[in-house]
Amino acid sequence: MRTAVGRVRPAGVCLRGFFVSMRVSSIEDSRFKADSPRRIEEGEDRAMRAAIRLARRGFGTTHPNPRVGAVLLREGGIVGEGFHARAGEAHAEARALAAAGSRARGSTLVATLEPCAHHGRTPPCADAIVSAGVRRVVLGMRDPNPLVNGRGVARLRAAGIEVVEDVRGAECRELNRPYLKHLATGLPWVMLKSMISLDGRVAADSGDSRGLGGGSEQRLCHRLRAEHDAVLVGIGTVLADDPELTVRLVRGRSPVRVVLDTDLRTPAGSRLVMTAGSVPLAVATASEDRARIEALERRGVSIWRFARSPEGRVPIRRVLSRLAAEGRLSILVEGGPTVHSAFLSEGLADRVAIGIAPLILGGSKTPGWTRDLGRKGVGDAIEVGPLVMRRVGRDLWVEGALGASEAGRV
């Protein structure tokens, strides 16, 4: 079984009705096309695109396993296809082989990731491919998991199967940024998300922020929650907005909810606590107040206690390590500004996503979506890009990756 250490759609995968996409700067599609080699047939390239689409159906459900899609071709037509839905269930290759049955013999398997060659909770896919009589395998990328990493390819070639590698490799790697980051660093992949006004504010001076994003943007945000393994906020957001942080406006699973709450101020009557029995809630704290801890635990809240960081707060890196140990490899951070700034300052964020409402709030009390990052000049700024801009109903949605020097530092 493919697995990272531990246990249990990018924005836009299923949102065709919500936005028009506008690509800015050096956009990844051009890189992806250049990555495709010429030694494959046109039908195999189309099949890889289909396998990538299949793999995306596993967003939000496969953790801690990678997202994988597979397609079987025979005589120019698709005879089987599959994707990995969740850990412990059949892998994409096994599903495709089962769908094809006897037609798999003499076929070409197109898969986004190298097949496993070891026994886990499921049998080795490489052995199943050999037994089915597949003659050729086209792969998007090797699996860097030490349990796999070339062993699947070696098993196939030892059986006389032709293997072609690195077909649309950049796209296949993009499918599994959380999985790849965790293998490389031991930490989850992190997206910072905020909704702001046209003048850059996260709320009015009264503190009111509800309705800042339009209906389409709200649905997109709920889709993002469904696609991540955990959603995280700070205690300031809990006290100001009383959020529920569940998935309600689209179909999907609600992720684990995490609150950074150094002094354990999360109200027992908050919507987060009141729903802890149905959707997991973890509160990360440095408090030793046994009465408060026990009161929240009785309501189904998991209390994660940490020693204070040198800054006197809950240590974010240790919280992320705890999430990774539980198989939560993609984290959506919804704020607020203090939490966003802490992630940026510590180099723990990988991507930012900002919704911009066509509203000018004015005022002088409410900050932007970050606070002071200690960067005094333009030359000290954090670089973000390539950028992707989308029209989401009335709003504008902007996403971009953080520069390599700012993200994923260990």
The residue among 192, 194, 245, 191 whose CA lies nearest residue 395 is: 194
Are the C-beta atoms of residues 358 and 38 closer than 8 Å to each other? no
Q: Return the structure tokens found at 58.
A: 């596993």
Q: Is 311 a catalytic site residue?
A: no
b/e map 173-207, b = 16+ CB within 10 Å = bebbbbbbbbbeeebbbbbbbbbbbeebbbbbeee
Tracing tokens 């096994």 back to the chain, one arrives at 94
- Sign (positive or negative) of CA dihedral 226, 231, 68, 353: positive
Backbone angles phi, psi at 6, to 5 degrees: 110, -175
Q: Residue 101 burial by CB count (10 A; 0-12/13-18/19+): exposed, middle or buried?
A: exposed
Across the beta sheet with 281-285, the strand order is 19-23, 384-392, 395-402, 351-356, 189-196, 330-333, 230-234, 256-260, 281-285, 302-305
> Residues in the chain, how many?
410
Q: Which residues, listed in sequence order, are joined to residue 258 by a DSSP beta bridge?
A: 232, 282
Q: How far is CA 159 from the centre of its chain?
A: 36
Q: How far is CA 74 from CA 41, 49, 81, 125, 162, in A?
A: 13, 17, 12, 19, 15
Dist CA 308 CA 306 (whole Å): 6
For 333, the token pair is 């951070």
DSSP code for 253: P
- Out of 81, 93, 171, 227, pick the active-site residue: 93
Q: Are 22 and 396 in contact (CB under 8 A)?
A: no
Q: Is the Cβ–Cβ distance between 182 and 324 less than 8 Å?
A: yes
**Catalytic residue numbers, as ranges:** 93
